[in-house]
Amino acid sequence: MRNWLKANRSKLGLTGLVLGVLLLLIIMTLPVTPVAAAPRPQAEQPTDESCLACHHQEGMTAQVGGQPLPITIDPEKFFASVHGVEEIACVDCHTNITGFPHPAVTASSRRDFSLELYPTCQECHLEQYEKTLDSVHQRAIAAGNTNAAVCTDCHNPHTQTRLTDENTGELLQEARVVIPQTCAQCHSTIYETYRESVHGVALEDGNPDVPTCIDCHGVHSIPDPTSNSFRNSIPALCASCHTDETLMAKYGLSTNVLSTYVADFHGTTVKMFEENYPDQPTNKPVCTDCHGFHDVLRVDHPDAGIAYKKNLLGKCQQCHPDATTASFTDSWLSHYEPSPQVFPLVYFVNLFYKIFIPAVLGGMTLFVLTDIYRRFIVRRAGTKAAVEAETKEEETNE
């Protein structure tokens, strides 16, 4: 056997090489089925519960630009908020959070952090967000005032409750009551003034009819209250409540305030500007010049009510510095309509002309009509007489 192996070693080597080449070719021609890689475990989105497991801790803060930022969230208030009720998850707003540790905060201050995050609101509230883009607040931010209000300054996303009725869309009374307090976060001085006004006192007493900040200034598209167009539109703004007969009847107030103002020499000019030149200034007074802005008081208030001549004179002197006596105010009827009890002289003069003018014009009209009729009769009679005379003459000639 050993001798046979020695004699045939070369043949065996050649045979093995051939078989090896054939095996390699067979393997290369076989269909290759790729082996699926083992699936990598997917990181699950953090749930609200997992977020709150840490963020419910009292006094929890994070350093943003060297300043401590409170990041404690009250689970009870969050789940009672409109976002919690609607099941808006934490990561729906904090889209960069996928796990722990969280990405590093790039904001240089707490305010910059808010400014970076609030545009997320447009994902759900696009209509409201777009309205803010032309507001006085947004223009202030564009001009460099980073303290101007953004969405999250007025609506805390972790505690904001529902503001409107789900069926009617009307603002809920409990939401109306806190509106001035929301605005007071930036406008505290104005808020204190409003609280003492006839509107603010009634609102705190639970009266749903009085105006709050947003009724006069708007909600998201807040215009510049110092502009000429806003000033010229004030009479129409006040009239939206004060010409409502149902509303004013509850408080015994006249709804003729707009009509009497527009009929007056002050209001006629303002109305013309409001309709034709809304951006042009006018030196004629509007409602707020006499009644105040945020400090509106009852007209019979002893210290500021313009039902008293001494108080009214002070208002007039803002435009008429030469007015020094209370008799100056007698030339203005205010919003009163003349009657036998109020401004009787004006009332009876008006009554006289209401009778005299129709009587004169009616008499003249009657005179003209009777004169026309007389002329028609005379002409007709003359024509008839001429015809008769001509006929008689023809008969005579025959």
Q: What is the mean pLDDT of residues 6-11?
A: 52
pLDDT band of residue 387 (cuts 50, 70, 90) is low
Token digits of residue 207:
């009266």
pLDDT band of residue 39 (cuts 50, 70, 90) is very low
Token digits of residue 59:
């006094």
Task: Identify residue 298 by its one-letter amino acid code.
Answer: R
More confident position, 146 or 393: 146
The pLDDT value recorded for residue 38 is 44
pTM, full prediction:
0.73
Cβ proximity of 68 and 62 under 8 Å: yes
Q: What is the mean pLDDT of residues 124-131?
A: 95
pLDDT band of residue 20 (cuts 50, 70, 90) is low
pLDDT of 153-170, one tens digit each?
A: 999 999 999 999 988 888
Q: Is the pLDDT of residue 335 over 50?
A: yes
Of these ranges, 203-207, 333-337, 391-395, the one predicted with the greatest mean pLDDT is 203-207
Question: Which residues, 6+ apart, have CB-to-CB distance to 197 below 8 Å?
Answer: 292, 294, 295, 296, 297
The pLDDT value recorded for residue 57 is 94
The pLDDT value recorded for residue 12 is 47
pLDDT band of residue 323 (cuts 50, 70, 90) is confident
The pLDDT value recorded for residue 15 is 60
Pick the range with the lowest mean pLDDT from 137-141, 270-274, 302-306, 364-368.
302-306
Average pLDDT taken over every residue of the chain? 85
Q: Is the pLDDT of residue 43 over 70?
A: no
Q: Is the pLDDT of residue 40 over 60?
A: no
Question: Which residues, 6+ apart, have CB-to-CB distance to 289 below 8 Å?
Answer: 315, 318, 319
Q: What is the mean pLDDT of residues 329-358?
A: 84
The pLDDT value recorded for residue 1 is 47
Burial of 137 (0-12, 13-18, 19+ CB in 10 A): buried
| Percent residues over pLDDT 70 in the chain | 85
Q: Is the pLDDT of residue 42 over 60?
A: no
Cβ proximity of 183 and 213 under 8 Å: yes
* CA distance linking residue 357 with residue 211, whole number of Å: 44
The pLDDT value recorded for residue 382 is 72
Token digits of residue 359:
């009587």
**Residue 122 CA: distances (Å) to CA of 80, 82, 151, 220:** 22, 16, 10, 13
pLDDT band of residue 60 (cuts 50, 70, 90) is very high
More confident position, 193 or 5: 193
Q: What is the mean pLDDT of residues 296-322?
A: 87
Give the residue from 190, 246, 230, 236 showing the smallest Cα distance to 213.
190
Q: Is the pLDDT of residue 175 over 70?
A: yes
Q: What is the mean pLDDT of residues 334-343?
A: 80
pLDDT band of residue 24 (cuts 50, 70, 90) is low
Q: Is the pLDDT of residue 146 over 80?
A: yes
More confident position, 398 or 246: 246
The pLDDT value recorded for residue 32 is 45
The pLDDT value recorded for residue 303 is 83
